[in-house]
Amino acid sequence: MSKTTSTLKVAALLTVAGLSITACQKKSENTPVPAATFLQVIHASPKTAEVTINVNEKKYQQKTTYLSSLNSYGRLEAGKDLPIKLSMGSNVVANGKFSFENGAAYSLFIYDTLTNNKVKFVILKDMISNPGTTKANIRFLHLSPNTPPVDIDVFSGNDSIRLVKAGAYIGNSPDVTALAPFKTIITGKFRVKVKTMVGNKIVTLLDIPSLELSGQKTYTLFLKGVNNGSSDAAIGLQLWMHK
């Protein structure tokens, strides 16, 4: 379920980019070097076919399928209010603008169901760092449009912690400032329960017997699919390793 490539790859890419810029400047002080940033795309819209993402009039382009595990960070030019277009074939299913900072890394999450031939997307700034050999960085996104707010409890032996309390669907206008930060937790293998309120009763939506978090890694854990969905659209937890 998780992705297993080292999260330090982004830092290495940033370092290489910095060295390349320095080398170019030594060769010619008059040659402008474009500011670089990095973008990763996560397709989390159930029952939605392959999506093509274009940034800044196709200067950055990537195709992605639902929950594809092949995507890593790609390099693009930084800039303010860059146009973003998501399309399926010739149909534009979402668009907007975003400002990408020089030297930063971002994740673009495609979410919601394909309603009226439209999906939604949110871009979060990623702070990829090494939390230590026995710790991991993690954040949570609720991307299941018809599922009420959820609590997520993780269990290790006789110990348990509430990882998420009343986490709500991120909706049409998500608060990127609140959603972007990661928290650092101790790693290990955990039993995970996802619970919600139905009337006055607590209902367990998911009971996952084993979810492993590895040290020195950065993850986004997101609620995917739709409530009462089937096959690929079934509700579930997806652990996404940033690489």
**Percentage of residues of the chain with pLDDT beyond 90:** 77
In 3-state terms, what secondary structure has residue 207?
A: strand
Q: pLDDT, tens digit, for every residue of 133-153?
A: 999 999 999 999 999 999 999
Quote the DSSP letter at residue 233.
G
Mean pLDDT, all residues of the chain = 88
Contact 196, 147 (CB under 8 A): yes
- As for how many domains the chain has, the answer is 1
> Any idea which residue has 């209902």 for tokens?
203
Widest pairwise Cα distance in the chain? 69
Q: Residue 206: which of 152, 243, 134 has the closest Cα? A: 152
Quote the DSSP letter at residue 69.
S
In the structure, what pLDDT confidence band is assigned to residue 128 with cuts at 50, 70 and 90?
confident
- Report yes or no on 160 lying in a domain: yes
Q: Residue 122: which of 110, 138, 140, 105 has the closest Cα? A: 110
- Report yes or no on 2 lying in a domain: no
Q: Are strands 74-77 and 135-142 parallel, antiparallel or unpaired?
A: unpaired
**124 or 22, which is more confident:** 124
pLDDT of the residue at 129 = 87
pLDDT of the residue at 190 = 96
pLDDT at 92 > cutoff 50: yes
Handedness of CA 83, 18, 216, 4 (dihedral sign): positive
Q: What is the pTM of this model?
A: 0.85
- Report yes or no on 3 lying in a domain: no
- Calculate the dihedral angle through the C-alpha atoms of 174, 46, 56, 70, rounding to the nearest 10 degrees: 120
- Report yes or no on 4 lying in a domain: no
Q: Which residues contact 216 (CB under 8 A, 6 or more apart)?
A: 6, 7, 8, 130, 131, 132, 133, 135, 136
**Bridge partners, 51 (sequence order):** 64
Q: pLDDT, tens digit, for every residue of 37-50?
A: 999 999 999 999 99
Q: How far is CA 29 from the centre of its chain?
A: 38
> Any idea which residue has 């394909």 for tokens?
114
Token duo for residue 58: 């196709």
Quote the DSSP letter at residue 226.
B
Alpha carbons 225 and 145: distance in angstroms, whole number: 8
Task: Determine the structural domain holding residue 220 and report its residue range.
Answer: 9-241
Q: Which residues contact 128 (CB under 8 A, 6 or more apart)?
A: 7, 8, 10, 11, 105, 137, 218, 242
- Calculate the dihedral angle through the C-alpha atoms of 54, 59, 60, 63, rounding to the nearest 10 degrees: 50
In 3-state terms, what secondary structure has residue 19?
A: helix
Alpha carbons 53 and 233: distance in angstroms, whole number: 22
